[in-house]
């Protein structure tokens, strides 16, 4: 599909200088651009990982804004730049306020700013909680595919944590060809469990969903699942017994802080980016602090995709993705292009006002 250039390079002032434009893309437009395109988006995420692995990106550390009076809350800035056909810079600004759920609001909210590669001018601001959930789910589905090659394809999936991210991951798994004999569900919140089970019953892919079982304990779920998805808000490890993983499942450790070091030390471990993942007291970071080295890491997802590393079939395989800003940019630029091609961009007239150097 032909992509439109950034609008910052599409128009000119009377003297020939660029006249930047600025668009606002609300959540409804974002969702329309992404809905039902799971295979396309997963391919887009794979391309972004390969560009990042080849060095065609800039992805500095995420910046955490924390609050002494609200210790469970945070806002994170993820600046990034990606090349290839995406060719855009930008920033995701995403908050996580767990107490929102009790008030009936989603835990996370976010915006994504896209900057023109040549001028640096921001040319779009879009609602990004949907983009963030989409890229997280596409990354998880991509990892499930690559990390399960060389072993029987998992047919029993289990979700520990049943919020929005779990819903998106299930949608991406079924939307990219996965079918399951059973779906296990476990959450400390009965309301979340009920909501997720309701989603499973109503999912368009209900014929591929499989039998749904609510498990009273995480141990029951893990032992009965070949593919385990952690999508919690845990701040520290709460799963501590390596024996629960003795059947060697593939584990999508999306929430990053659920597994005790003892479990990772008994597993094959893959991350999205080593430097990003080994910080902020993630489970892999705790292993590094415990052992004083990174020998427990087997590689990155890109190492698997390029054939440099083959995941073993005789150990649990754990994927711990910190989440890369380049993935948000790839999905965000896709959304922008789709909205632009449809002719539905909402441009803010004269957003950039002082364009003449001397007035």
The verdict on 90 and 145 lying in the same domain is no
Q: Are residues 86 and 180 in the same domain?
A: no
Reported as a single tens digit per residue, the pLDDT across 305-340 is 999 999 999 999 999 999 999 999 999 999 999 999
End-to-end C-alpha distance for the chain, whole angstroms: 41
How many independent structural domains does the chain possess?
A: 2
Q: Are residues 121 and 137 in the same domain?
A: no
Residues 104 and 149 in one domain: no
Q: Which domain holds residue 47?
A: 7-131+325-341
Instruction: Please tell me whether residues 94 and 168 are part of one structural domain.
Output: no
| 202-249: pLDDT as tens digits | 885 445 556 999 999 999 999 999 999 999 999 999 999 999 999 999
Note whether residue 353 is domain-resident.
Answer: no
Residues 169 and 275 both lie in one domain: yes
Asked if residue 332 and residue 220 are part of one domain, the reply reads no
One domain, residues 154 and 123? no
pTM equals: 0.92
- Are 235 and 168 found together in one domain? yes
Report residue 354's pLDDT band, with 50, 70 and 90 as the boundaries.
confident
Same domain, 172 and 310: yes
Dist CA 294 CA 287 (whole Å): 8
pLDDT at 136 over 90: yes
If asked whether residues 97 and 64 sit together in one domain, one would say: yes
Are both 261 and 144 inside the same structural domain? yes
2 within a domain of the structure (yes/no): no
Question: In this structure, what is the dihedral angle of CA atoms 55, 251, 140, 182, given to the nearest 10 degrees?
Answer: 160
DSSP state of 154: P
């Amino acid at each position: 599909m032909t992509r439109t250039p950034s609008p910052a390079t599409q128009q000119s002032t009377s003297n020939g200088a660029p006249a930047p434009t600025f668009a606002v893309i609300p959540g409804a437009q974002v969702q329309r651009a992404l809905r039902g395109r799971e295979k396309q988006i997963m391919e887009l995420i794979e391309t972004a990982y390969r560009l990042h692995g080849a060095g065609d990106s800039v992805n500095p550390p995420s910046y955490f804004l924390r609050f002494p009076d609200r210790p469970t809350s945070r806002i994170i800035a993820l600046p990034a730049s990606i090349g290839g056909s995406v060719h855009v810079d930008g920033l995701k600004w995403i908050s996580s306020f767990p107490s929102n759920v009790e008030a009936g609001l989603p835990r996370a909210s976010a915006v994504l700013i896209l900057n023109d590669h040549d001028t640096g001018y921001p040319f779009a601001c879009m609602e990004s909680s949907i983009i963030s959930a989409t890229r997280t789910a596409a990354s998880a589905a991509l990892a499930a595919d690559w990390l399960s090659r060389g072993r029987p394809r998992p047919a029993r999936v289990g979700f520990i944590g049943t919020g929005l991210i779990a819903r998106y991951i299930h949608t991406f798994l079924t939307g990219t060809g996965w079918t399951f004999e059973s779906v296990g569900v476990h959450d400390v919140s009965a309301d979340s469990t009920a909501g997720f089970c309701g989603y499973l019953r109503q999912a368009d892919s209900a014929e591929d969903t499989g039998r749904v079982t609510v498990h009273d304990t995480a141990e029951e779920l893990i032992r009965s699942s070949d593919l385990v998805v952690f999508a919690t808000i845990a701040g520290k490890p709460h799963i501590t017994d390596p024996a629960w993983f003795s059947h060697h499942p593939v584990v999508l450790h999306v929430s990053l802080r659920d597994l005790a070091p003892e479990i990772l030390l008994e597993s094959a471990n893959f991350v999205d980016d080593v430097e990003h993942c080994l910080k902020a007291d993630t489970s892999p970071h705790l292993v590094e602090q415990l052992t004083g080295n990174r020998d427990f890491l087997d590689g990155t997802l890109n190492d698997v995709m390029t054939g440099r590393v083959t995941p073993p079939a005789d150990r649990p395989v754990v994927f711990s993705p910190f989440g890369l800003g380049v993935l948000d940019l790839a999905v965000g630029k896709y959304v922008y292009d789709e909205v632009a091609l449809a002719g539905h961009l909402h441009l803010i007239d004269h957003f950039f006002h002082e364009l003449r150097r001397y007035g």
